[in-house]
Each structure stands twice: as structure tokens, then as C-alpha cells.
Amino acid sequence: MIFTMFISRLSICIGYACAPLYLASLLIAVYEVVMRYFFNAPSDWAFEVTLTLCAVAWALSVGFVGQQSRHIAITFLRDFVPNRKKHWLDVLTLMLTVVAFAALAIATAEPAWEALTRVERTGSAFNPPMPAILKPILFVAACLGVLQTCANLCFAIMGRTIAQPDVPEVKV
């Protein structure tokens, strides 16, 4: 139970920590529009930086989305089975999800390491190390997905709903 609560809290914290990346992306996009259309001075970097920030936020939010059960779900079959069987269908779905995330983590481990050690770049005019950032992030996200899905699986096996742990309020 301690593991599931820790992983759930970690997923929530990471999810909230990723939110400002979307705001930064928005501000960069607004800056680019103003520079391009009002001053006729487009940048080489705005698109790739925005893309990287959004990709990092999206990938690292996988645990948060799973913890909150806000992921896309096809519930056609689940809606037709009796309540007793819904529980076991949920357990089966979570087990398959763990396998899928584990397969993604295994598949991305070596490319992530190579991109990181070689500091792969995009090859564009700006030439940022976007692959060296995103490939390891995808591996980390897959690992976070495994952990959060295992936590959700523990809750499901115990017959409980996914916990909504208390998160300390951030005062600004």
C-alpha cells in the first residue's frame, strides 16, 4: 500500500510539474507570431523548442493521466458485462497495460542511451539536441507508466478504486 501511494503521489507531482512546460510553449509561440508577423523576424528555434517542451510534458504526464484515470478508454465491452466481471476485466486490462509499457521501456532503452551518449541532434538550422532529450524522456515515461499501472493494478486487485492521495497545496 505504501508503494502504491508513493507512486500515485509521484505521478501527481510530476504531472503538476509538467504543466508550466505548456505555458512556456504558449509564450514561445506567441513570441514567434509577434516576431514573424509584426517585425518580419522569424526565429530558427521557436518551433523546435515548443515541440520539445510539449513532447516532454506529454510524455512525463503518463503517470498522472493513469493515476487520475483520464486516459482514453474503449469501454464498449466493459459496458456489457456484469459488475462482478468488470472488476476482473479491469485487472486484465491493467496487466496488459503493464506488459505494453514494459515492452516500450525495453524497446526504448538502447536508443535512449545511444541518443544521450552521442548527443543526437535534429540536423535543422537551429540543430538542437532534441533526440538526445526526447528519446531518454520516452524511456523514463515508459518506466513511470509501468510503475503507475502496477500501483493501479494493486488497487484493482485489492478491490479499491485508484487512490487520490492528498497533494500539498502550492502557494504562489
Question: Distance between CA 166 and CA 155 in Å, rounded?
Answer: 16
| Domain assignment of residue 142, yes or no | yes
| Domain assignment of residue 163, yes or no | no
How confident is the model over 66-83, as a mean pLDDT? 81
| Domain assignment of residue 171, yes or no | no
Percent of the residues in the chain that have a pLDDT greater than 90, as a whole number = 66
Is residue 172 predicted with pLDDT exceeding 70? no
| Domain assignment of residue 165, yes or no | no
| Domain assignment of residue 143, yes or no | yes
Is residue 135 predicted with pLDDT exceeding 90? yes
Residue whose cell numbers read 503507475: 148
Question: Distance between CA 126 and CA 108 in Å, rounded?
Answer: 25
Q: Give ∠ CA 50-53-54 in degrees, rounded to 5.
A: 85
What's the maximum distance between 2 C-alpha atoms anywhere in the chain?
A: 64
Average model confidence (pLDDT) for the chain? 89
| Domain assignment of residue 168, yes or no | no
Give the Å distances, CA to CA, from 86 to 93, 99, 130: 10, 20, 42
| Domain assignment of residue 169, yes or no | no
What pLDDT does 72 receive?
75
The structure's pTM equals 0.85
Q: Give ∠ CA 143-62-127 in degrees, rounded to 5.
A: 85
- For 21, the domain range is 2-157
Displacement of CA 75 from its chain's centroid (Å): 22
Domain count, the chain: 1
First to last CA, the chain: 32
95 close to 153: Cβ distance less than 8 angstroms: yes
| Domain assignment of residue 133, yes or no | yes
